[in-house]
Chains A and B, each alone.
Chain A
Amino acid sequence: MVRFFQVVVLIFLFSCTSSHDRFQTSAGSSGDASRKNCWQAHNVATTLQIMREFMNKPLEADLNRDNYIQTFGCAYEEIELEENAIQAVHRAILQSLRNRNVEVRDDLFSLLKSKPPRPDNLTREYTIYINLPRGENQVKVASYQVKILDLDVVKTVESPVTILTRVATRFMHPEDHYQALPVSMEKSAFIKVLEKAERVLNLTEKGKIDQIYDLLSRSKKASDVQQPAGLSQLSFADTFNLLDEFNPGKSYPALFLGKGIVLGMTPKHGPIVFKFGEERLYGLRLDLKKFQRLTSEFVEFNYQAPETILQCLFIKSSKQKPTALPANL
């Protein structure tokens, strides 16, 4: 009995330590440069693949009858399961509000943080206040009910603690429901952002920077896209130029991917994934005046490229890199 208990404790300790590793459990696996595709690893599906299947779930009949609508969310960015759960539920609720064309009054993130949704607890219902538009520039405060129907942890290429969630939402008072009938039944707009980001990252792997620029230029543009003012404000798919230190008239395009990692065109080595500072290896310099955000989608949905993919892209490119600065620099 004692031995059995010791074994159980050992297994528990082992599982605890491994679950806290940053995204990958096997050392060096994610940065394996021999992988043909950074999205294919250890027979694990991507978040996008799992979400597509997950989103086929129909809304329960009784909830449908009670005027609920269902929306979906997912998150993989953080190492803490709870933080991913909060982000996933937050995305699902925001989708529901977009569908009804209403705005939340509360600080939704703080509310979720104070009562965090977890896969293993029973905190599954929230009531929030929203602004219901009434006439010109007038709003009515209304109660909005949120039920978390599913909150699952899955292992994906992006993270071993990816969270998928399905929420059902409705107005607490039926009269409010009839005043704000859903204008859309979109399940998750974030999925479209994930799709586009995956296309960008796939093109990054192939070094097709021109095609990425085309893809981003075709994207839906918000009327007032706030342009990043500096390095610290860059987000996924923001573009800028690299200046040639030996030929001031020349510049090369570059694309920010996240965590200081960039896809940039170089004079002699073609497209390379490198981190800030390494542009000097190619005799280039960042043009800090022309940061451009061609699409606001990634910022609006707080999209961040999966770190495992960034790591894989970076390490795959590292073999081609010069070891030291050009001689005359």
Chain B
Amino acid sequence: MIKIHFYIYCLILIIFQSTSFAQENTDTVIYEMANFEKSASATYREYQWLYYEKKQSAEELLVFEDLLGVYVKRLREAYDTMMLLSDKNVVESRDIAARALIYRALTFLEKAPIDVSYFERACYDYYDAMQLYENTDDIPTLFKPLPQRIRVGGRYYSRLIDLLDEKGQDLFAFGQVHIAIQNFHVTSKFDPMQLQLLRHSTSPADSGFYTYRMAEDLLVKGFQKAMQTSRRYDLYLGLPAGTYYIRSRKVQNSEYVNLATIYVRPNQFIAYIVEPIADWVIFYETPEKLVKLNANEIEASLTVDTTATDSTKGIQASVVNSNTESANSTSAVLRTTEAIAKVVEDIMDEMSEEDLDTLPINRTRKEFVKGLARMIITKVRGEYMTSWNHWTMSWTIAKSITEYYAANKQVSLPMVKLTYDVINRLM
């Protein structure tokens, strides 16, 4: 009996020790990460000082960029380690890793006016930072208060979004292209090294200001990886708005030289699936991220209506030119506004008093709710999302509504969160 008690005691001791050991490890990694972040932030400030006040040469600035690159890499590794230790308690480490990426993006944006390719590099860092929050509902660090305010120029900033909103407008001229490469085999005749990415231009003025040099390389590497592993491979490209052709230099079908035509609109998300078809490659678009902005749809999703639709009804409407539909469009918009307003009200009911106080309610709550619903309809046109990320779209809407109802007020985090929740509910 005593022996059993002894064994149980030992077991408990081992469990507690391993838990505290893991906790210790986590704390150490977080501590190290916080130190690296301080260095990254200091390097960003130092870079600005050298750039504006000391007018340092491009070579000297490159050293600082490389240094920032080392911090970003180390922080990313640390974040990956944290993810391996436990994916439950990663909020802090993710925020630190994301902030470092944003610092580097801001650094690149400083230099971009003298080397336009830096806009593209900044864009990838910005996307990478936001990508860390994919598949979670956690608020990106971009919108959260910084651990300590940073002074840029003559102003102090307590949130990165305010800084980016002021200095990062060029980032919003890019669109994010998500490419999922699937069903490729290593024996395929397709040669990724022959890929070419070209921008369509009808006039010299249309040739574009921003670069897209990194995209072709990423595309080639993506195909190589997909063919080596024979598995689905996902990659993101940051492309300035415009029409692009993906071609193979080794033409496989003389009748159709473009493997794909990609239409990139500013600050928009476009998803493509790439598959082989017969002896050729096909890219086709998947508008995955869409928002339901149809009153019936929203009402249906709210009431969880499971009524089946008659499959034959739609056939009659092969080419529909219904005047009644256009006449009803105004009432449909009104019904949509009401349906979205109901979603807004529901979410606001769940908010704390403290958060409600930060909303830019100028006169009545009803007026604010209706205004937000209308703004969402205006910003989310048609079927597709017009923004590449729900959070960035929420920010745009929250900013517009704040400017409308309380121009002097800062866009509050609860306001952004409220918009995000409404959009999520509409998906």
Contact = CB atoms under 8 A, between A and B. Distances in A.
Nearest to B190: A22
Given A239-B315, A249-B321, A21 B187 contact: yes
Contact of A323 (B200, B252, B312, B320): B200
The size class of the interface chain B forms with chain A is 35 or more
Given A33-B255, A260-B282, A278-B261, A307 B287 contact: no
A140 interface: no
Given A285-B383, A325-B243, A30 B279 contact: yes
Nearest to A275: B284
B253 A231 contact: no
Contacts of A27: 189, 252, 279
A210 B318 contact: yes
Given A22-B276, A287-B383, A289-B294, A239 B319 contact: no
A31 B280 contact: yes
Interface string B406-425: 00000000000000000000
A280 B263 contact: yes
Nearest to A327: B202
A36 B277 CA distance: 20
A124 to B, nearest CB: 28
Nearest to B327: A249
Nearest to B292: A289
A24 interface: yes
A227 B278 contact: no
B271 to A, nearest CB: 10
B52 to A, nearest CB: 40
Interface in A287-325: 287-290, 292-294, 307-308, 310-311, 314-315, 318-319, 323-325
B306 interface: no
Contacts of B200: 323-324
A213 interface: yes
A265 B285 CA distance: 18
Interface in A150-208: none
Contacts of B252: 27-28, 31
Interface in B327-374: 329
B311 interface: yes
A249 B253 contact: no
A63 interface: no
B296 to A, nearest CB: 9
A181 B318 CA distance: 46
B317 interface: yes
Nearest to B257: A318
B290 interface: yes
A236 interface: no
Contacts of B285: 260, 275-277
A68 interface: no
Contact of A318 (B255, B276, B322): B255
A276 B280 contact: no
B331 to A, nearest CB: 14
A319 B255 contact: yes
A250 interface: yes
B382 interface: yes
A28 B311 contact: no
The size class of the interface chain A forms with chain B is 35 or more
Given A27-B189, A225-B311, A22 B279 contact: yes
Contacts, number: 156
B279 A28 contact: yes
A252 B284 CA distance: 20
Interface in A215-242: 217, 221, 225, 227, 231-232, 239, 241
Max chain B C-beta neighbours (<10 A), residue from A225, A252, A294, A324: A324
Contact of A227 (B189, B275, B288, B311): B311
B180 to A, nearest CB: 11
B418 to A, nearest CB: 26
A58 interface: no
Interface string B178-200: 00000001011100000000001
Interface in A1-38: 17, 20-24, 27-33
Contact of A22 (B261, B278, B320, B323): B278
Nearest to B206: A324
A251 B317 contact: yes
Nearest to A250: B321
A22 B285 CA distance: 22
Interface string B227-269: 0000000000000000100000000111110000101000000
Max chain B C-beta neighbours (<10 A), residue from A217, A239, A275: A275
Contacts of A325: 243, 263
B277 A307 contact: yes
Contacts of A227: 308-309, 311
Contact of B323 (A79, A249, A278, A324): A249
Given A17-B187, A259-B277, A292-B314, A253 B287 contact: no
A261 interface: yes
Contacts of B322: 249
Nearest to B323: A249
B311 A292 contact: yes
Contact of A293 (B261, B280, B311, B321): B311
B277 A249 contact: no
8 closest A-B pairs by CB: A277-B285, A260-B284, A20-B187, A249-B326, A275-B284, A276-B284, A311-B278, A31-B253
20 contacts: A22-B278, A24-B279, A30-B279, A32-B255, A209-B318, A239-B315, A243-B382, A243-B383, A245-B382, A248-B325, A248-B329, A249-B322, A252-B318, A275-B284, A276-B287, A277-B284, A278-B261, A288-B287, A292-B315, A324-B200
Interface of B: 185, 187-189, 200, 202, 243, 252-256, 261, 263, 272-273, 275-280, 282-288, 290, 292, 294, 297, 308-309, 311-312, 314-315, 317-323, 325-326, 329, 382-384
Given A28-B279, A31-B279, A275-B284, 15 more contacts: A20-B187, A27-B252, A28-B254, A33-B255, A217-B315, A239-B314, A241-B314, A248-B329, A249-B322, A251-B319, A261-B282, A276-B286, A277-B261, A311-B277, A314-B282
